[in-house]
């Protein structure tokens, strides 16, 4: 899943989409984790229902 950011931190976005901060960070190299540019396109990793791990 992808989305455009509104300028919120990756930590806030991770909480909103119920994914781990590190998984979100790994899926989006080159994005500032504290102040991503508004309008940046982020990849939101999906959680694997069987393991609870991001894929």
Ordered structural domains, the chain, with CATH: 2-43 (3.10.350)
pLDDT tops 60 at residue 51: no
Stronger pLDDT, 49 or 14, i.e. the higher one: 14
Question: Cβ atoms within 10 A of the Cβ of 53, count?
Answer: 10
| Locus of tokens 């899943």 | 1
10-28: pLDDT as tens digits: 899 999 999 999 999 999 9
Q: What's the maximum distance between 2 C-alpha atoms anywhere in the chain?
A: 34
Looking at residue 33, its pLDDT comes to 87
């Amino acid at each position: 899943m992808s989305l455009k950011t509104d300028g919120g931190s990756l930590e806030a976005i991770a909480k909103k989409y119920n994914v781990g901060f590190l998984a979100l960070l790994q899926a989006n190299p080159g994005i500032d984790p504290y102040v991503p540019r508004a309008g940046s396109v982020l990849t939101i990793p999906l959680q694997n229902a069987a393991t609870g791990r991001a894929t």
